[in-house]
C-alpha cells in the first residue's frame, strides 16, 4: 500500500468498496500532484540556483571590468602627467636652445664684424701704402721731368 494511502475498514457492502476506491484514487492523485509540485519546486530551485550563479558571474565580471576601468584611468592619468612633464622639459630645452642659438649667432656676428673690421683696416692700410707709393712715383716722375726741362 502507498505510504499516504488511507486504510479504511470496509464494512460489508459495495458502497464502502467504492468509497475506498475513491479515497485511493484521491490519494494517488494527491501523491501525483505532490510529486509534480516537488518536481516543479526542484526545477524552480535549480533555476534559482542557475540565476544566482549567473548573477554572481555577472557581478564578478562587472567588478573585473570596473577594476580594469580604474586601472585604465590611472594609466591615462600617469600618461598625461608624463606627457605634460615631457612637454615642459621640451619647452625648457627649446628655450635654452633658442638662447644658445641667439648667443651663438651674436658671437658669430661679432666674430664676422671683427673679421670685417680687420679686413677693412688691411684694405685701408694697403690703399694708403699704394697711395703713398703712387705719390712717391708721381713725385719722382715730376722730379725727373722738371730736371729734364731744366
What percent of the chain lies above the pLDDT cut of 70? 91
Which residue shows C-alpha cell 586601472? 71
Q: How many domains are there within the chain?
A: 1
Higher per-residue pLDDT: 143 or 23? 23
Band of pLDDT at residue 14, cut at 50, 70 and 90: low
Higher per-residue pLDDT: 6 or 52? 52
45 Cβ contact partners less than 8 Å away, ≥ 6 residues apart: none
Distance, CA of 142 to CA of 150 (rounded, Å): 12
Backbone torsions φ then ψ of 123, nearest 5 degrees: -65, -40
pLDDT digits (tens, 9 = 90+) for 58-97: 999 999 999 999 999 999 999 999 999 999 999 999 888 8
Identify the domain containing residue 90 by its residue range. Answer: 1-111
Q: Does residue 92 fall inside a structural domain?
A: yes
Amino acid at each position: 500500500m502507498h505510504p499516504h494511502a488511507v486504510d479504511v475498514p470496509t464494512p460489508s457492502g459495495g458502497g464502502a468498496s467504492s468509497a475506498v476506491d475513491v479515497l485511493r484514487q484521491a490519494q494517488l492523485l494527491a501523491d501525483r500532484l505532490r510529486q509534480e509540485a516537488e518536481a516543479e519546486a526542484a526545477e524552480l530551485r535549480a533555476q534559482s540556483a542557475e540565476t544566482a550563479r549567473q548573477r554572481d558571474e555577472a557581478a564578478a565580471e562587472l567588478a573585473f571590468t570596473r577594476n580594469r576601468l580604474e586601472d585604465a584611468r590611472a594609466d591615462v592619468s600617469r600618461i598625461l602627467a608624463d606627457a605634460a612633464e615631457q612637454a615642459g622639459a621640451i619647452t625648457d630645452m627649446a628655450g635654452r636652445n633658442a638662447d644658445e642659438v641667439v648667443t651663438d649667432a651674436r658671437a658669430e656676428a661679432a666674430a664676422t664684424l671683427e673679421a670685417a673690421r680687420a679686413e677693412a683696416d688691411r684694405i685701408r692700410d694697403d690703399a694708403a701704402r699704394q697711395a703713398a707709393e703712387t705719390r712717391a712715383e708721381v713725385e719722382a716722375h715730376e722730379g725727373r721731368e722738371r730736371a729734364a726741362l731744366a
